Amino acid sequence: MTKPKVLIAFYSRNGSTEILANAIAEGAIADGAEVRLRRAREFVSQEVMANAPGWAEKSAEMNSKYEAPTEADAEWADAIVFGTPTRFGSIAAELKAYIDSLGGIWFQGKLNGKVGSVFGSTSSRHGGNESTLLSMYTPMAHLGLIIVPLGYADPAMFKAGTPYGATHVSAMDTLKPDADHLAVAQFQGRRVTSVAKGLRGAHIVGAAS
Ligand SMILES: Cc1cc2nc3c(=O)[nH]c(=O)nc-3n(C[C@H](O)[C@H](O)[C@H](O)COP(=O)(O)O)c2cc1C
């Protein structure tokens, strides 16, 4: 039987969301998935990026490790996991631009019935951690994804994360996800993969054939 295919499409500027993305990939692979890790690209000018020290360098470093997510990646996937740092309590424009680029295959119904899940990072504890994840549920519903939250379905959930998806509080980018946050992200990877496996071959009304 072929492996369930998991696309992890994230944006990260300072590395916290990137670390969670890799932990989700580890969990997914542990549960038998084939994984594509993709980083959404900036679309602001180099002049704008130069205003934030390190942005251009970090971007170039991550872009050398991860391809940009494409329409073909989304079509390929059985499950799509979106990750974003908070931007004013909501999704980063870079990831949103990727989601918006999926309009063509959305119109063809090609995303209906795929599994979807979300994760992210904020600077402060109450700075939009949960609202950011919930803001991503809205386009995911439009895309026809079957949204998989985490609930408290694993002991890791009582130590970190949110029931909506793995998260991290970076304290102005001074903290990286610790073992408790990584455990939540790994659980998310395993859970998403197991749901994708369970749905394989299932008759889902309205799903792409
Ligand atoms: C334009 C902008 C808006 C932001 N808005 C928020 C916010 O509303 N709440 C918050 O806690 N952090 C906010 N942040 C901080 C980032 O979300 C935070 O540093 C995050 O951990 C970065 O993740 P990354 O390391 O994956 O880039 C903002 C950062 C930028 C550049």
Can you read off the two tokens belonging to residue 157?
Answer: 């959930």
Ligand 1 geometric centre to CA of 86 (Å): 5
Cα 1 to ligand 1 centroid, rounded to whole Å: 41
Residue with tokens 């908070």, as numbered in its chain: 86
- Hey, which of 49, 88, 135 would you mutate to test ligand 1's pocket, going by the most ligand atoms within 8 Å of its Cβ? 88
Question: Which residues, at least 6 apart from 193, have a Cβ–Cβ distance to it below 8 Å?
Answer: 4, 6, 27, 28, 31, 32, 33, 79
pLDDT in tens, 18-64: 999 999 999 999 999 999 999 999 999 999 999 999 999 999 999 99
What's the 112 CA to ligand 1 centre distance in angstroms? 31
Compute CA distances 75 → 8, 81, 83, 86, 156, whole Å: 13, 13, 18, 26, 31
Q: Which residues line ligand 1 (CB under 6 A)?
A: 12-18, 85-89, 121-124, 127-128, 170, 173
pLDDT digits (tens, 9 = 90+) for 68-114: 999 999 999 999 999 999 999 999 999 999 999 999 999 999 999 99
The domain 5-208 is placed in CATH, from the list 3.40.50.10490, 3.30.1510.10, 2.40.100.10, 3.40.50.360, at 3.40.50.360
pLDDT value at position 204?
86
CA 152/CA 182 separation, integer angstroms: 15
- Check residue 39 and give left, alpha or beta (phi > 0: left; psi -120 to 50: alpha): beta
Report d(CA 107, CA 193) in Å as an integer: 26
The pair of structure tokens assigned to 60 is 């170039």
Q: What is the pTM of this model?
A: 0.98
